Structure 1
Amino acid sequence: MTSRARWLVLAGIAVVVVVVAWVAGREGGDPSAQDAGGSVRLGPDPGQSVREYRADLARQLPPPGQTVLALVQPTAQLDLDAATALAGPTPVETAVFRIPIPRVQTALRFEPVTGPLPGALRVARDRAAFAASADATRLTGRRHDVAAAERRAYDDPSCRYVLALVVRADRARLDALSADPSVRAVQAAPAGTRTRDLALAPLLPEQRTAADPLPDDGPVPPAPGP
């Protein structure tokens, strides 16, 4: 085999490996994992004790007068009105959506929020619904059924599908959010962190003791009949 032929064969193998890895990343893994993670993690580490995670959050808050990004994690998931009320005047950069179905793993959907609330949250919700619809189209079996159930749930305005918010706020506002009884945890990013630098892994309401995977053995709500 000539050097040129050997090079072409190796190049072809490399392309196949890249494509296989990309497909595996798209099709496999935990459906609640974020697709594109950044370098600054906000949220507990896998398996971490919830008490240990929360105990360290106050130390990460910025000094007075400094504005940073922060992950606000409510005690329970919120509908759009409640999420808007919680944020108040605080700018929201990202909303994390999740359809809660008992004992069924559903996707976390990370959508940018641009503009005033509640309109911008509705637009972000519609993008999450579109993503669920796309998943239902390309997936099969149980994962298809779950994505289809998610898509239907996004049409219900009373559904509590807001899991967490990324806000941009100063120390005083973050202290106020941390003291809100409806908020479970507020984790601030280091100063200078950009939204694209974040890798988000919010606590789920069902994770009471540790950030462990949730069971995925419950029934998926069926589609309504004709």
Structure 2
Amino acid sequence: MSSAVRFALTLLAAVVVLVGGLYVVGVVNPVPAPPVGGDVLGPDNGEPVDDYLARAEQSLSGPDTVRWALISLTQVQSLGRGWELTTTQPSMLLSQNIFNVPIERVQTPTVRPATGNTEESFHWSQQIAAQQVISRSDGTERAQRVGEVAAARLRAGCDCLIGLVVRDRLSVLRQVAAEPGVRAVEALPDDAEAGLFTVVPLQPSMVTIVEPLPDDGPVPAV
């Protein structure tokens, strides 16, 4: 046997041992599989608003199981009104309040602070929203000024609630969808898990197409 052949056989044996060793390590210490998600609550970019509203209504049909859902309001409302809307359903789990400060032709950050089923936590969420707005306004000088104005108005208790993320039975969600001031309720499938879905709020000012709102207006004083 030539030295070249012996070298080739030795190299092949080493590769087999290495691959076998890596396989054993992989079996003993498997890489955790990433969580399976992909569910989205809310409209798609560029989707006609009427199509989304019809899609949201369709999501409320099916077995009366517990679902995660997005409640979209017809216009910005006070936290007090939001609390009244949800407390009519004692079985409802409150998860997030969605805030956006309306300023004509000025894009303001939309934030979704967590909330709970106590009136104190529900109302405190607006102060948390003000802090979230500031933390997201560290870009241009205009963005910083917009953030300051929006945060100040949130701290002052503005009517800036545009939606809520909740969990309840489908029959309850259908009742909420019929309440005055509710524009749409969209429910996820009953196997959707907390933390594994995306929320895209529907802005009350979006009436035809879901697209970025104008941002060419002057930023008002606080």
TM-score band w.r.t. shorter chain:
0.7 to 0.9
2:139 and 2:102 map into 1 onto residues whose CA distance is 20
Match of 1:91 in 2: 93
Matched, 1:106 2:108: yes
2:60 and 2:78 map into 1 onto residues whose CA distance is 27
Highest CA radius of gyration, 1 or 2?
2
Match of 1:147 in 2: 147
1:132 and 1:207 map into 2 onto residues whose CA distance is 21
1:222 and 1:47 map into 2 onto residues whose CA distance is 32
Match of 2:8 in 1: none
Equivalent position SS for 1:77: strand
- C-alpha change, 1:144 and 1:179, in structure 2 (3 Å) is same
Match of 2:134 in 1: 133
Count the aligned residue pairs: 183
CA RMSD of superposed structures (Å): 1.6
Q: CA deviation at 1:161?
A: 1.4
Unaligned runs of 5+ in 2: 1-36
2:135 and 2:109 map into 1 onto residues whose CA distance is 12
Q: CA deviation at 1:139?
A: 3.5
Equivalent position SS for 2:155: coil
- Please say if residues 62 and 191 of structure 1, whose CA atoms lie closer than 8 Å, have aligned partners that are also in contact: no
Match of 2:67 in 1: 68
Matched, 1:172 2:171: yes
Match of 2:22 in 1: none
Equivalent position SS for 1:153: helix
Match of 1:201 in 2: 200
2:133 and 2:170 map into 1 onto residues whose CA distance is 36
Q: Among the aligned pairs, what percent are the same residue? A: 31
Match of 2:43 in 1: 44
Unaligned runs of 5+ in 1: 1-37
- Please say if residues 93 and 166 of structure 2, whose CA atoms lie closer than 8 Å, have aligned partners that are also in contact: yes
Match of 1:13 in 2: none
Match of 2:216 in 1: 217
Matched, 1:124 2:157: no
TM-score, normalised with respect to structure 2: 0.77
2:136 and 2:46 map into 1 onto residues whose CA distance is 27
- C-alpha change, 1:43 and 1:185, in structure 2 (3 Å) is same
